[in-house]
Amino acid sequence: MKSLKASGHPFSISTLQLEHLHAHRSDQFADRMADAGLHPLKPTRIEIFQINVGKMCNQTCKHCHVDAGPDRKEIMTRETLQRCLDILATHDIPTIDITGGAPEMNPHFRWFVEEAARLGKHIIDRCNLTILLANPKYYDLPQFLAKHRVEVVSSLPHYTAVRTDRQRGDGVFEKSIQAMRMLNEAGYGQEGTGLELNLVYNPTGAILPGPQQELEADFKRHLLSEHGVYFNKLYVITNMPISRFLDFLVVSGNYETYMQKLIDAFNPSAAMGVMCRNTLSIGWDGTLYDCDFNQMLDIKIQDAPVHIDHFDLDALTNRSIVVDQHCYGCTAGLGSSCGGQVV
Amino acid sequence: METYYNPADLAKFGKIGDFDKALADKFFSYYNEVFKEGALTAREKSLIALAVSHTVQCPYCIDAYTTDTLEKGCTEEQLMEAVHVAAAIRGGASLVHGVQMMNHTKKVMM
């Protein structure tokens, strides 16, 4: 499967995605936020540097909001990564969240993790699991990540092969289980080791996710009894109506129903806790965004310099977060963030 | 094409209150109370609702509770098992009347 970009799909152009999102709905997200007393939305403080180190990935998942895949060549340079490290060394930003694509495919990944660990920061690697088996050069990643106390957050849309493979590609479930075994052997997911392996569930279709606690119990029971693998927490995430998932919604005739479902499920409490309030998203070329979704829609931050080279913490802390119709995805029901449900 | 059932009408269910608000309010209050977590989990109740939807053959209910059970974390296998429970009871309900047929046959025949 090719990325939307490689196949010349209209939704590979962010403005066309936004046009689609604007064309069909009169319920403006900003108005709902204003009604909830949350517009303009302001940051609390920047606690997480979420760095998207590149769009290259060994998988081409059907729901991917990044439109990542083997044919994507955008990769963060060592200079930009160094710039991030320089800022992190001089600012009280405790968490570095490394995402992609498959972040491990960035040639500077290990160097960056080593340097970040030296700063004493909490490091998260958003690992797709199958990368650990994609090439012999990645086989020792579990030990490397364990050595630097990196939290591993991995997508596994379901505890059944059929659902996972439907979203992430044939054979992905089996490889993911093998990769979880490798991580478990390195100490991940085990009580007392402090090595966190957290999984991410997102629905395999145009539905909202159920309660995190119940799904976590299901995942733990099935994965342990049927495959002998374990993990710490399950983060439940709502699919955002952008990029490949937007394409799925339109092609399958679910777009209107799904958007209405998100709108009807708008929850002011969830809106209070959205991740853009404490996270800064950095693109592969050093551009700054309010979140990874805004990044993929090319909606840059406002009220502050938009590139990491001109990082200004005061301006960023006082900026207004840019919201649009896709933000209904994060505020529906129990809410959604990179750390799971927020309510 | 005009049909008796329109999927868009499901979203208008709440509007039945336009003609009789008091009774609609009572119904929806009862309905919401029924589906809360109780001695049965919300997921179990949703699966029962899916099975009953098939028994009463309500297209709105089937759509609604297919989505609801999936959102509550049920698998396709569990959904189909619930439908088979409905089918088994419906089929069994027909078949068990065969005893009545047999009784009557034995009574009237030599």
ipTM: 0.82
Structural domains in chain A (count): 1
Res A83 pLDDT > 90: yes
What pLDDT does A25 receive?
A: 67
Query: Best mutation site among A207, A236, A238, A264 for testing chain B: the one with the most B CBs within 10 Å?
Result: A207
A337 inside domain: no
- Smallest Cβ–Cβ distance between B73 and the set A205, A210, A260 belongs to A210
Show residues of chain B in contact with A163, CB under 8 Å: 75
Residue A145 included in any domain: yes
Domain range for A262: 10-331
CATH at residue A242 = 3.20.20
What does the alpha-carbon distance between residue A201 and residue A231 come to, in Å, rounded to a whole number? 13
Cα torsion A153, A62, A247, A258: sign = negative
- Per-residue pLDDT at B3: 86
What are the chain A neighbours of B43 within 8 Å (beta carbons)?
210, 214
Is A321 within the bounds of a domain? yes
- Look at the domain B15-108 and name its fold: AhpD-like (1.20.1290)
Kindly state whether residue A218 falls inside one of the protein's structural domains: yes
pLDDT tens digit string along A146-162?
Answer: 999 999 999 999 999 99
User: B52 CB contacts (<8 Å, ≥6 apart)?
Assistant: B61, B86
| Distance separating alpha carbons of residues B33 and B53, to the nearest angstrom | 18
CA distance A263 to B4: 28
pLDDT reading at A35 higher than 90: yes
Let me know if residue A2 belongs to a domain. Answer: no
Least Cα separation, residue A329 to chain B (angstroms): 15
In a domain, A91, yes or no: yes
Which of B11, B73, B76 is facing A215, going by the closest CB pair?
B73
pLDDT digit string (tens) for A128-147? 999 999 999 999 999 999 99
Any residues with CB less than 8 A from the CB of A167 and at least 6 apart, and which?
Answer: A61, A62, A63, A157, A158, A204
* C-alpha A196 chain-centroid distance: 17
Residue A208 has its nearest CB partner, among B11, B71, B76, at B71
Q: Identify the pLDDT of residue A174.
A: 97
Task: Give the three-class secondary structure for A226.
Answer: helix
3-state secondary structure of A286: coil
Give residue for tokens 């009347």: B97
Q: Share the mean pLDDT of chain A.
A: 96
Please provide the DSSP assignment of A1-61 as one string: ---TTTTT-GGGSHHHHHHHHHHT----HHHHHHHTT--S---S---EEEEE-BSB-S---
Tell me the pLDDT tens digit for each residue of A13-33. Answer: 999 999 999 986 679 999 999
A343 within a domain of the structure (yes/no): no
Express each pLDDT in A207-222 by its tens digit: 999 999 999 999 999 9
* Nearest CA-CA distance, residue A101 and chain B, Å: 27
Using a CB–CB cutoff of 8 Å, tell me whether A207 touches chain B: yes
pLDDT attached to residue A26: 74
Please indicate whether, in this complex, the C-beta atoms of B11 and A260 are within 8 angstroms of each other: yes
For residue A14, how many other CB atoms are within 10 A of its CB? 16
Residue A27 CB burial class (10 angstroms; 0-12, 13-18, ≥19)? middle
Please give the torsion angle defined by the CA atoms of residues A113, A119, A124 and A128, in that order, rounded to the nearest 10 degrees.
0
Asked whether residue A154 is assigned to any structural domain, the reply reads yes
